[in-house]
């Protein structure tokens, strides 16, 4: 803590100092031996300098005037002639200004070092000499003194005064203090020694006795104790000499001068030591702090820091080293640096590095072994540190980059091995920075020719312009390519036409993504492309083929329509003449046009039969055409399948007149309702029954069965016979138009082959299915399944 000399308002202090200066002047002259022309003791020199030193420079003009007045006053009060007093005051004030200005300029307000003390010694001597010259000249001219002796006495008196008093106001910041009791002991011893020396008759050699004790104070107790003791010493020496005691008691100007020089030497003995010790302690404290700071930094650093001697012996490691390697400080310290941390095969190399001082500092990448037998990849930096004793230490720091290296290896590998994918990197402006092997092969560019060129140069400008227009960018620019990526959305994929330097274009599907740094600032773009030339061409071909197919189908459908139209027109047109033919023939066969001979009757019968067949064919064709043209159906209503079977069975009754067939229907008690058109359903069942009658020889049986399954919501209607059956391999074709089985054709049983396709069309239009099972020579069963209403 620093105590400033300002317990009272500064002006009071200044006034007190001025008063003290004046009083010291009066006393100084008073106690001076009156045989002498000027005072041999001149404390005002020190007090005056102290006054200026303690106060701000803007006060100086007033202080200088006041000090001059004090000096003048003291001389005048003591009865000196005014002119002489004025000259003396002038000499004094000149000295005071010189000391204060030079000390402020050269040293500042505080004495902090031995060098400062040296300057103080020189400045105060020079200024004292200036005063001495002035005083000696005045004394010689106006007061009858001798120039030479006066010069000597005054210079030494002033010098001692400044050297003893001024340091009182220039205490350094550093403070050294011993225990109070010890200071008291030292002060008493010093006082005792001084009393012994200056209280007795003078033996000059004894004058040196107090000096070791002042030196003790300088070394042990610091500046403040020393300066105070010096002031006390000065008072004591002065007083003793005055009363003719002590080594300088001779009452001559020369002895006074000696006493004053003695005082200067007293100051030289104590004060520089105090300053030096203070400086040393400050430096030591700074060094201690520095060391603590450094240790704290090293201890808390997350970077492993190791210090090794010149021969490689580890001297210290920090906790981060343990964290990285798993070796504790005790395991590492005192052993060669490489023993634990480096693989044995590299020991020789590392040991050599340690011996090559001139290679330091160095940095690089290396591998460090860990306690668990693993390895870490590190970047290291090492520097040589030359100690004060000229030995060299090495400071080695390491940073673990294992994770970064591993992932970058992976990436490099990925980048190299991606030969079927083209990867291009660009900077934010679009100039290519990265080309992988896949890009070289697929896009037919080399790394050298592509690097540094704009990606735009390789793309079809028309497409870029087109994309630019979509985005509202007028000139085709790189931003048209990366607009999607810039918006921060997921990577976008688009087709582009690639124009490699060899001129053979290809179609690529390219995905664009933005690459950003850790702070999310864009550092470039990544383009991943696939060659889709073949794929796109195939897609195009497929598309064209489909188009053609569609056209052909349309054409066929039109043809089919035309055919159906034709068939129905022809059938229609055939029906009228056929009806007329049949009517006319009936006139013959009924004998209305006269009796026919047996031959004629036979012919008429043949004509009638064939005309009937033709009419049946025409009717069937008409019916089928009506179905296949998908004419709108009559609205479906609820139909009981039992009624359908009843009606169909009755309608085939005429066919049975000349036949011996057992025809029966098995129907449930309850109604089996489906949604449908009763007329069409009857027609379908009649067709099946007609076939059964036709293809079942006499003695056989025909059974129609109606059933239902309420749970699955279906109704079944089957027509089974015990007839000739259908050959196995032809079963699949029975529902095709104009199909007639081989056995039927062989037996020349008549038919058109249209009946079953009509049945199947009717069932389909009722959202039902029809199935057939047959065994040749055993019989056939047709089963219709319809959804229940
Ligand atoms: P059509 O009876 O006028 O020949 P269909 O379409 O009704 O025409 O029948 C096609 C063919 O299916 C018949 O010629 C016959 O060969 C065979 N077929 C149909 N029903 C039976 C059946 N119940 N038993 C044996 N064969 C049959």
Residue pLDDT, tens place only, 217-240: 988 888 999 999 999 999 888 888
Burial of 406 (0-12, 13-18, 19+ CB in 10 A): exposed
For residue 739, the CA-to-ligand 1 centroid distance in Å is 8
Mean pLDDT of 578-602: 86
pLDDT of residue 207: 83
Atom 8 of ligand 1 has which residue's CA nearest to it? 753
Give the model's confidence band at 278: pLDDT under 50 very low, under 70 low, under 90 confident, else very high: confident
For residue 403, the CA-to-ligand 1 centroid distance in Å is 83
**Mean per-residue pLDDT of the chain:** 88
Q: Is the pLDDT of residue 1 over 60?
A: no
Q: What is the spatial distance between Cα 211 and Cα 160, in angstroms, rounded to a whole number?
A: 16
Mean pLDDT of 377-384: 89
Atom of ligand 1 at shortest distance to CA of 735?
Answer: 6
Q: What is the spatial distance between Cα 742 and Cα 678, in angstroms, rounded to a whole number?
A: 33
For residue 613, the CA-to-ligand 1 centroid distance in Å is 16
Q: What is the spatial distance between Cα 430 and Cα 422, in angstroms, rounded to a whole number?
A: 16
Give the model's confidence band at 37: pLDDT under 50 very low, under 70 low, under 90 confident, else very high: low
Mutate to test the pocket of ligand 1, among 737, 755, 781 (most ligand atoms within 8 A of CB): 755
For residue 762, the CA-to-ligand 1 centroid distance in Å is 17
Q: What is the spatial distance between Cα 458 and Cα 157, in angstroms, rounded to a whole number?
A: 99
Atom 3 of ligand 1 has which residue's CA nearest to it? 751
Give the model's confidence band at 145: pLDDT under 50 very low, under 70 low, under 90 confident, else very high: confident
Q: Which residues sit opposite 344 in a β-bridge? A: none
Q: Is the pLDDT of residue 510 over 80?
A: yes
Give the model's confidence band at 389: pLDDT under 50 very low, under 70 low, under 90 confident, else very high: confident
Mutate to test the pocket of ligand 1, among 751, 777, 779 (most ligand atoms within 8 A of CB): 751
pLDDT of residue 55: 92
Percentage of the chain beyond pLDDT 70 is 96
Mean pLDDT of 126-135: 95
For residue 617, the CA-to-ligand 1 centroid distance in Å is 14
For residue 752, the CA-to-ligand 1 centroid distance in Å is 9
Containing H/E element for 423? strand 422-426
Mean pLDDT of 408-424: 82
Mutate to test the pocket of ligand 1, among 741, 758, 774, 784 (most ligand atoms within 8 A of CB): 741
pLDDT of residue 660: 94
Atom of ligand 1 at shortest distance to CA of 687?
Answer: 7
Q: What is the DSSP string of 354-412?
A: HH-GGG-SEEEEEEEE-TTS-EEEEEEEEEEEE-TTS-EEEEEEEEE-HHHHHHHHHHH
pLDDT of residue 631: 46
Q: What is the spatial distance between Cα 443 and Cα 424, in angstroms, rounded to a whole number?
A: 10
Residue 425 tokens read as 């990197």
Q: What is the spatial distance between Cα 315 and Cα 393, in angstroms, rounded to a whole number?
A: 9
Q: Name the residue among 542, 539, 565 with its Cα closest to residue 631.
A: 565
Q: Is the pLDDT of residue 360 over 80?
A: no
Write the CB contacts of 338 (distance below 8 Å, at least 6 apart in sequence). 312, 346, 347, 350, 351
pLDDT of residue 251: 62
- Of 343-352, 550-559, 748-757, the one with minimum mean pLDDT is 748-757
Instruction: Report the pocket of ligand 1 as residue ranges, CB < 6 Å.
Output: 691-692, 695, 721, 723-726, 734, 739-741, 744, 751-756, 780
Q: What is the spatial distance between Cα 490 and Cα 773, in angstroms, rounded to a whole number?
A: 61
Mutate to test the pocket of ligand 1, among 617, 690, 744, 774 (most ligand atoms within 8 A of CB): 744
Residue 668 tokens read as 């449930």
pLDDT of residue 31: 80
Mutate to test the pocket of ligand 1, among 613, 619, 691, 735 (most ligand atoms within 8 A of CB): 691
Mutate to test the pocket of ligand 1, among 692, 695, 719, 736 (most ligand atoms within 8 A of CB): 695
Q: Which residue has the higher pLDDT, 780 or 627?
A: 780
Q: Which residue has the tokens 């201890």?
A: 299
499: alpha, beta or left? (left if phi > 0; alpha if psi -120 to 50): beta
Q: Is the pLDDT of residue 359 over 80?
A: no
For residue 322, the CA-to-ligand 1 centroid distance in Å is 98
pLDDT by residue (tens digit) across 538-574? 999 999 999 999 999 999 888 878 877 887 788 788 8
Percentage of the chain beyond pLDDT 90 is 47
Atom 21 of ligand 1 has which residue's CA nearest to it? 691
Q: Is the pLDDT of residue 630 over 70?
A: no
Atom of ligand 1 at shortest distance to CA of 739?
Answer: 10
State how far the alpha carbon of 233 is from the alpha carbons of 41, 214, 325, in Å.
14, 10, 67
pLDDT by residue (tens digit) across 172-207? 886 767 788 999 999 999 999 998 888 887 677 788
C-beta neighbour count of 491 within 10 angstroms: 13
Mean pLDDT of 718-728: 95
Atom 23 of ligand 1 has which residue's CA nearest to it? 692
For residue 753, the CA-to-ligand 1 centroid distance in Å is 7
For residue 692, the CA-to-ligand 1 centroid distance in Å is 8
Write the CB contacts of 154 (distance below 8 Å, at least 6 apart in sequence). 38, 42, 128, 131, 132, 135, 136
Write the CB contacts of 591 (distance below 8 Å, at least 6 apart in sequence). none
């Amino acid at each position: 803590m620093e105590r400033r000399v300002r317990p009272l308002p500064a002006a009071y202090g200044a006034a007190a100092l001025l008063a003290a200066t004046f009083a010291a002047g009066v006393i100084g002259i008073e106690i001076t031996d009156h045989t002498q022309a000027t005072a041999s003791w001149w404390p005002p020199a020190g007090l005056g300098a102290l006054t200026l030193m303690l106060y701000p420079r803007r006060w100086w003009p007033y202080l200088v005037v006041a000090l001059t007045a004090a000096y003048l006053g003291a001389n005048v009060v003591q009865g000196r002639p005014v002119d002489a007093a004025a000259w003396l005051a002038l000499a004094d004030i000149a000295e005071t200004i010189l000391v204060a200005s030079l000390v402020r300029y050269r040293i500042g307000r505080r004495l902090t070092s031995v060098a400062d003390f040296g300057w103080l010694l020189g400045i105060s001597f020079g200024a004292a000499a200036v005063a001495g010259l002035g005083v000696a000249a005045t004394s010689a001219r106006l007061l009858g003194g001798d120039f030479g002796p006066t010069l000597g006495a005054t210079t030494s008196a002033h010098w001692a005064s400044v050297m003893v008093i001024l340091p009182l106001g220039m205490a350094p910041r550093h403070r050294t203090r011993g225990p109070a009791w010890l200071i008291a002991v030292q002060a008493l011893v010093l006082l005792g020694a001084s009393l012994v020396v200056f209280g007795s008759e003078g033996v000059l050699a004894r004058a040196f006795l107090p000096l070791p004790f002042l030196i003790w104070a300088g070394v042990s107790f610091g500046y403040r104790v020393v300066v105070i003791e010096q002031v006390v010493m000065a008072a004591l020496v002065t007083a003793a000499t005055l009363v003719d005691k002590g080594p300088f008691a001779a009452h001559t100007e020369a002895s006074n001068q000696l006493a004053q020089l003695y005082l200067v030497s007293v100051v030289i003995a104590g004060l520089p030591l105090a300053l030096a010790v203070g400086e040393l302690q400050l430096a030591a404290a700074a060094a201690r702090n520095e060391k603590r700071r450094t240790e704290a930094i090293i201890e808390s650093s997350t970077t492993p820091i190791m210090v090794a001697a010149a021969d490689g012996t580890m001297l210290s490691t920090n906790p981060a080293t343990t964290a990285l390697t798993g070796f504790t400080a005790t395991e590492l310290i005192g052993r060669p640096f490489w023993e634990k941390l480096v693989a044995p095969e590299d020991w020789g190399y590392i040991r050599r590095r340690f011996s090559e001082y001139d290679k330091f500092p160095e940095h690089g990448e290396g591998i460090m072994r860990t306690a668990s037998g693993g390895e870490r990849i590190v970047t290291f930096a090492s520097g040589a540190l030359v100690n004060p004793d000229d030995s060299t230490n090495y400071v080695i720091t390491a940073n673990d980059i294992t994770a970064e290296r591993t992932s970058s290896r992976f990436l490099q590998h990925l980048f190299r091995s991606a030969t079927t994918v083209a990867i291009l990197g660009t900077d934010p402006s679009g100039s290519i920075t990265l080309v992988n092997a896949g890009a070289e092969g697929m896009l037919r560019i080399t790394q050298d020719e592509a690097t540094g060129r704009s990606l735009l140069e390789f793309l079809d400008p028309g497409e870029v312009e087109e994309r630019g227009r979509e985005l509202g960018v007028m000139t085709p620019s790189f931003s048209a390519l990366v607009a999607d990526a810039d918006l921060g959305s997921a990577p976008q994929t688009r087709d582009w036409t690639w124009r490699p330097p060899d001129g053979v274009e290809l179609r690529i599907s390219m995905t664009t993504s933005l690459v950003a740094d850790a702070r999310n600032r864009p550092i470039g773009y990544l383009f991943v492309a696939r060659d889709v030339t073949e794929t796109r061409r195939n897609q195009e071909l497929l598309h064209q083929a489909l188009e053609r197919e569609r056209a052909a189908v349309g054409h066929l459908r039109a043809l089919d329509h035309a055919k159906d139209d034709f068939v129905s027109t022809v059938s229609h047109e055939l029906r009228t003449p056929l009806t007329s033919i049949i009517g006319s023939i009936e006139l013959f066969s009924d004998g209305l046009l006269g009796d026919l001979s047996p031959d004629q009757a036979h012919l008429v019968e043949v004509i009638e039969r064939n005309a009937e067949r033709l009419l049946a064919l025409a009717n069937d064709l008409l019916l089928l055409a009506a179905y296949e043209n998908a004419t709108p159906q009559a609205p479906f209503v609820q139909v009981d399948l039992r009624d359908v079977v009843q009606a169909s069975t009755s309608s085939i009754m005429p066919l049975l007149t000349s036949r011996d067939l057992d025809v029966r229907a098995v129907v449930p008690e309850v109604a089996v309702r489906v949604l449908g058109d009763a007329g069409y359903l009857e027609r379908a069942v009649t067709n099946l029954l007609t076939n059964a009658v036709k293809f079942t020889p006499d003695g056989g049986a025909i059974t129609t069965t109606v059933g239902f399954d309420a749970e699955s919501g279906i109704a079944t209607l089957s027509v089974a016979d015990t007839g000739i059956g259908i050959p196995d391999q032809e079963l699949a074709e029975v529902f095709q138009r104009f199909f007639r089985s081989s056995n039927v054709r062989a037996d020349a049983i008549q038919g058109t082959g249209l009946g079953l396709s009509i049945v199947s069309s009717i069932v389909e239009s009722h959202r039902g299915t029809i199935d057939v099972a047959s065994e040749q020579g055993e019989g056939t069963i047709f089963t219709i399944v319809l959804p229940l209403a």
